[in-house]
Amino acid sequence: MFRQHEFIYAEANVGSRSCYIDLDRPDGRRDLAQLLCRADVVVNNHRSGSLGSRGLDPHELAEERPGLIYVSVTCYGSEGPWAGRGGFDMNGSAASGLMVVEGSEAEPRLPVTGLINDYVTGYLGALGAFAGLVKRSVEGGSWHVQVNLARSAMWCSSLGTVDPAQAGSTDEHRLLEPVAYDAPSPLGEVHTVAPPVEFSHTRPAWPDPILVPRGSGRPEWSR
């Protein structure tokens, strides 16, 4: 089992529920089937094909659950010679050449944001999921969204770089002051960034509790 650093879990799972399902066991597959019955979106961030044998192939799920939106998140894409390779943010930055753009061939460097591909790819996957839901409401059908870390890095590189001399020189080149969000949780006091989106009638907020221990929930949808 892949063990993730605790600080990464706490950073990336704010507002999420968490449960364990063993897809190699009959009861785990039964729990998964029950969840899929009410699912609108499935997100798979494992390497291509790794979960297909366990009942999470996008085409098979679309036949079993018409109208499903399936988001595939990979490091190098769902097709091509590297489709079966796993990887994470830094692999995408290295393979795409982003580290050379930020540094040089002799001394490649991570972008100043550190984990740029993880976040950008997540945003693009979420946007794709919303687009799929909109298309389903208008056209019907099931939709497959495919995003990958290396392509996100290539897109970021295509936008160009900022002249370091301009950093902080004007309001346009100055970072905005973040708005903090503080809340208690079973894992301790959480100090993070407030939801960045503002709505005209609905005040954005994280659920309570804002952060839960991994595997602490049951395999069922909240009511």
Domains and CATH numbers, the chain: 39-159 (3.40.50.10540)
What integer pLDDT is reported at residue 4 of this predicted model?
Answer: 65
What integer pLDDT is reported at residue 199 of this predicted model?
Answer: 84
Q: Which of 106, 102, 103 is nearest to 153 (CA)?
A: 102
Per-range mean pLDDT, top range of 63-72, 161-170, 201-210? 63-72
Give 121: exposed, middle or buried? Use CB within 10 Å, 0-12, 13-18, 19+.
Answer: buried
Is-above-0.75 flag for pTM?
Answer: yes
What integer pLDDT is reported at residue 182 of this predicted model?
Answer: 94
Q: Is 59 in contact with 78 (CB distance < 8 Å)?
A: no
Tell me what percent of the residues of the chain surpass a pLDDT of 90: 63
Q: Is the pLDDT of residue 222 over 80?
A: yes
With cut-offs at 50, 70 and 90, classify the pLDDT of residue 1: very low
Q: Is the pLDDT of residue 203 over 50?
A: yes
Q: Is 180 in contact with 194 (CB distance < 8 Å)?
A: yes
Q: Is the pLDDT of residue 57 over 60?
A: yes
**How many CB atoms neighbour CB 31 within 10 A?**
19
Cα angle at 177 between 127 and 184, to 5 degrees?
75
